[in-house]
Amino acid sequence: MDLLELRADFLRQEELSRAVELPRKTDLPVILTVRRPGEGGKWKGEERDRVQLLGKIGSAGFAFLDLEEDLEAPDLERRVLASGPRIIRSLHDTRGVPEDLTRRVSALARSPREIPKAAVTPRGALDLLRLLQVFQDLGPLQKVLLGMGDFGFPSRVLAPKLGSLFCYASPPRESAAPGHVDPQTLDELFRYHQIGPGTRVFGIIGNPVMQSLSPEIHNSGFAALGRDAVYIPFLVDELEPFFQVADSLGVHGLSVTVPYKEKVIPRLERQDPSVSAIGACNTMRRGTDGKWEGTNTDAPGFLAPLLSAFGGRLPPGLRATVIGAGGASRAVVHALAANGARVLVLNRTPSRAEQLAREFGVQAAPLDSGVKLMARFNDLIVQTTKVGMSPLSAEDPVPDYVFSGKEVAYDLVYVPRTTAFLKRALAAGCRVVRGDQMLLAQAFEQFRFFTGSDYPDEATRRLRIFSRYPA
């Protein structure tokens, strides 16, 4: 169901007198809420004045009145029930997920006309798992149940699948509570109105992950193919409880980003040769037996735009520097070494660079002193670290390296599209490859792994994700 909520605690004093007009100006049912600071609201007056306000305007055509779990106002409640609105009886916990949440939600409604609502704040994957268990415990009970903040975000998008009557959204840049997204994003990006009990769940796990552009890529593909599926970000702090979350939701496929590309490998029952060769997994799906299968699409995703930059094939004897030694760099080094390139790996932690170099038979050096060696490995320079991303968007991983203009500079960072590293390369006359090209190429490989279908051309033409971000 679609509704509006009037958060009267956000209104200025001169606006409160016009609050009664809203129900007459819309065809949607309207919830009236006047939230106290203790539950995340902005009401600054006395409690008796808040109750009087609820009573004064609550009977002016509002469909629902949101009253807190501990509010004792029998006269107000009698007047509300007599005048038509239903009560949403709500509890809020900004500290976590209460251990007795099932009991408290079950006891919230004081009459058959009341709807219990709980907004809690998962602090990690374990808390999200506990919230999902509450959904299961409450079964078909009519309710509103949601997790606030980034860890609770999946419970908002998946509300129709989980059995919550609705979730909450806010206008862009005006979030009324942690974790709100705007209605257009819910409807157009996540196709909220099409989600139901049978919707298949896919997603991306990482930390950080909420700014990932992968949901737009994959959800656009699902929409173009008419698939009953949704792809969402999962902020993960611990893998063990997260995979229990994945079991609870029946997650069918996952993209994997930092810092979990190597750590998920023990979870795989089956893996293709790319995982073993690279030592990292960036894509997982459930097989027909429910077991996790893994692959790595970073290597072909990295190579696709690079081959275009070099006219279809890498030149013989290509000399390349790879900055970084994480999961993404493993795929880059593997792809380059497998195509005959001579590779130098630079990393702030020399031991990680040396370990990576030993595995792939390439050279390694510490980042600070190794910059001097880059002149011998500078046909291609690949930047694989988070330097260049927010909050490091102004930084350059190799500020002391002087571009000659003959290099091909490749940065895996895709927001912003032109990092400080690439700006210097462009100023010197270098050809550049941006991270968004790799993002799309590897995502299209993931989509094929998830669905068995090529990424639809229709969806590719509609993608506008990079136009919203800094160049």
- pLDDT for the residue 181: 87
- 42 among known catalytic residues: no
Tell me: do 51 and 118 sit in the same domain.
yes
Instruction: Check which CATH number belongs to the domain holding 151 and give it.
Output: 3.20.20.70
464 band by pLDDT with thresholds 50, 70 and 90: confident
Q: Within a domain: residue 353?
A: yes
The reply to whether 215 falls in a domain is no
Q: What is the span of the domain harbouring residue 390?
A: 299-433
Q: 160 and 12 in one domain? A: yes
Q: Is residue 29 part of a domain?
A: yes
Please write the tens of the pLDDT for every residue from 104-138.
Answer: 999 999 988 899 999 999 999 999 999 999 999 99
Give the pLDDT band (50/70/90) at residue 354. very high
Q: Evaluate if residue 103 carries a pLDDT over 80.
A: yes
Q: Are residues 95 and 232 in the same domain?
A: no
Q: Is the pLDDT confidence value at 469 over 70?
A: no
Both 87 and 153 in a single domain?
yes
Same domain, 162 and 114: yes
Average pLDDT, the chain: 94
233, 377: one domain: no
Do residue 360 and residue 429 come from a single domain? yes
Residues ≥6 apart with Cβ < 8 Å to 201: 158, 161, 229, 230, 232, 249, 250, 251, 252
Which ranges of 112-173 does DSSP label H, i.e. alpha helix?
A: 125-138, 153-157, 159-162
Strands of the sheet containing 270-271, edge to edge, are 229-235, 200-206, 253-256, 283-286, 292-295, 270-271
Q: What is the pLDDT of residues 254-285, one digit of tens each?
A: 999 989 999 999 999 999 999 999 999 999 99
CA distances from 29 to 7, 165, 384 (A): 14, 13, 50
Look up the CATH number of the domain holding residue 386.
Answer: 3.40.50.720
Asked, for residue 204, whether it belongs to a domain, the answer is no
Q: Residue 211: phi, psi to the nearest 5?
A: -95, 10
Q: Which residues contact 248 (CB under 8 A, 6 or more apart)?
A: 129, 132, 133, 136
Average pLDDT rounded to a whole number, residues 413-427: 95
Residues 315 and 291 in one domain: no
**Is there a single domain that holds both residue 142 and residue 65?**
yes
Shared domain check, 278 and 305: no
The total of other beta-carbon atoms located within 10 Å of residue 129's CB is: 22
CA torsion angle 77 137 122 116 (round to 10):
-10
Query: Tokens 């002016």 sit at which residue?
Result: 60
Predicted local distance difference test score (pLDDT) of residue 470: 58
Instruction: Tell me, yes or no, whether 200 lies in a domain.
Output: no
Query: Is residue 166 within 8 Å of 159, Cβ to Cβ?
Result: yes
The answer on 68 and 51 residing in a single domain is: yes
How many degrees, rounded to 5, is the angle at CA 148 between CA 119 and CA 189?
A: 120
Q: Are 51 and 73 in contact (CB under 8 A)?
A: yes
pLDDT of 83: 75
Which segments within 184-291 are labelled E, that is strand?
200-206, 229-235, 253-256, 270-271, 283-286
Residue 332's pLDDT is 97
pLDDT band with cut points at 50, 70 and 90 for residue 462: confident
Instruction: Tell me which of 176, 210, 244 is where a domain ends.
Output: 176
Q: Give which of 433, 437, 436 is closest to 410, Cα–Cα.
A: 433
Query: What mean pLDDT comes out for the span 358-364?
Result: 97
Q: How many domains does the chain have?
A: 3
Q: What is the pLDDT of residues 21-40, one digit of tens each?
A: 999 999 999 999 999 998 88
247 and 381 in a single domain? The answer is no
Domain membership flag for residue 275 = yes
Residue 170 tokens, joined:
């806010």
Which residue of the set 143, 161, 261, 386 is catalytic? Answer: 261
In a domain, 332, yes or no: yes
| CATH number for the domain that contains residue 236 | 3.40.50.10860
| HEC readout, 331-364 | HHHHHHHHCCCEEEEEECCHHHHHHHHHHHCCEE
211: in domain: no
